[in-house]
Amino acid sequence: MEKVILARIGEIALKGLNRSVFEQRLARNMRAALSDCGACHIRWSQSRYYVEPETENFDFETALERLSGVFGLVSVSPAYATRSEYSDISTLAKEVVRNILDGGSKAGKTEFTFKIETKRGLKTFPMTSPEISSEIGGDLVETFENLHVDVNHPDFILYIEVREAAYLYSEIIEAPGGMPTGTNGKACLLISGGIDSPVAGYMIAKRGVSLCAVHFYSYPYTSERAKDKVVELARIVGRYSGGIKLLVVPFTEVQLAIDSNCREELSTVLMRRSMMRIAERAARKNGCSALVTGESVGQVASQTMQALYCTDNAADMPVFRPLIGMDKMEVVAVARRIGTFETSILPYEDCCTVFTPKHPKTRPSLNEVLEEEKKADFAGLEDTAFRGIEVIHC
């Protein structure tokens, strides 16, 4: 049996004259994801990608895991290929089902039910999809005495796709969908050690956006382990987005200046504005067209409409907030799914929590914030912080 991986696209299929740009980029991203799995050939036809191994030691399990995290794909399946001839399809179906039954028998099961779902993409094939399902199903029932048809609640489904070749499989592994990374520009993610910002990075990357990231580090008020935590979060998000260049900004002096010179109740919004200015400068240097944050309306004091207005006023480039309308439980669910949650809840404080005021002002006005900024040399402090950036490739 010739084993291949069949991968399916979703949104890309709706594209028009520029569809080939997205298809080529997705193929490139797939090759990058499979770079250490062994030699293979990737081709695409009729909304399907086919990963065809060129060596016997191709790592199928790792390849399936990698592809299930590639943006642009909606699902992947380990499949078997044969000629688009009925006799070949029937023979292969018996081999595939025999393997399934053998696996179930080892677990103690004696009777099995199944159904067949067929897609006939090759319109010159002399049988319709229902006819193929019916005939192959009959062949299987005659071959295996402990196998019975159940179209409502089968133990397994045998999928048959008849195209230029025939492909048979029984497993469909969900992939994230979205658009291929790199097809919709580049943005700079403001990443903390919390739950929200890594999820925001994942969600904007899912729309085809490449990422770099900025983290504000307040040593010695935040520990080295706190920075390591953020590096790990960037690495996890980078699995989906094709890697992340992490820029670690030494932010202690800015926060100390705010703490010493400015009104405590405005310190959070002043800190956020300073972060925006530094992040925008870093973003432009790294070819980014927008900033991305993990803010959600009303979640904390700095995320009221008035506070967000004051924050955005500090930046000239667009600020994207993928989580803006989500509640915490929705964000946590995504964090668990993408693998960032357990790292995010490690008990190492970041700079935002260390200098949090006791009673932050929830409805600051821009005029009073601008007046407070006159009390410290923000331009000089931010320039020093920018020049002290540490670069980590995740």
Report the alpha-carbon distance of residue 236 to residue 344 in Å, rounded. Answer: 11
Q: What is the pLDDT along the chain (394 residues), one digit of tens a residue?
A: 799 999 999 999 888 889 999 999 999 999 999 999 999 999 998 889 999 999 989 999 999 999 999 999 999 999 999 999 999 999 999 999 999 999 888 788 899 999 999 999 999 999 999 999 999 999 999 999 999 999 999 999 999 999 999 999 999 999 999 999 999 999 999 999 899 999 999 999 999 999 999 999 998 888 889 999 999 999 999 999 989 999 999 999 999 999 999 999 999 999 999 999 999 999 999 999 999 999 998 777 678 899 999 999 999 999 999 999 999 999 999 999 999 999 999 987 665 566 677 788 889 999 999 999 999 999 999 999 999 999 999 8
Residue 221 pLDDT: 84
Task: Provide the pLDDT for residue 227.
Answer: 92
Taking the whole predicted model, whether its pTM rises above 0.95 is answered as no
Q: State residue 354's pLDDT score.
A: 61
Rounded to whole angstroms, the Cα distance separating 81 from 55 reads: 16
| pLDDT for the residue 162 | 96
Show the tokens assigned to 210: 């490449």
In the chain, the amino acid numbered 64 is: L
Whole-angstrom distance, CA of residue 67 vs CA of residue 275? 35
Burial 171-196 (b: 16+ CB within 10 A, else e): eeeebbbbbbbbbbebbbbbbbbbbb
| DSSP letter string, 302-314 | GGSHHHHHHHHTT
> How many CB atoms are located within 10 Å of the residue 152 CB?
6
Q: Give the H/E segment covering residue 149.
A: strand 147-149
Instruction: Report CA 87 to chain centroid distance, whole Å.
Output: 41
Burial zone of 224 (CB within 10 Å; 0-12 exposed, 13-18 middle, 19+ buried): exposed
Q: Given the DSSP bridges, would you call strands 245-250 and 210-217 parallel, antiparallel or unpaired?
A: parallel
In whole angstroms, give the CA distance from residue 191 to residue 193.
Answer: 7
For residue 33, the model assigns a pLDDT of: 94
Q: What is the pLDDT of residue 175?
A: 96
Q: Give the integer Cα–Cα distance in Å for 169 and 3.
A: 10
Say what the pLDDT of residue 385 is. 97
Q: Residue with structure tokens 């100390």? A: 256
* Distance set, CA 251 to CA 221, 242, 248 (Å): 10, 27, 9
CB 259, CB 267: distance < 8 Å: yes
Which residues touch 279 (CB under 8 Å, ≥6 apart)? 188, 190, 214, 291, 315
Do 334 and 199 contact (CB within 8 A), yes or no?
A: yes
**Cβ count within 10 A of residue 377:** 14
Which residue shows structure tokens 């790292």? 343
User: Counting every residue, how long is the chain?
Assistant: 394
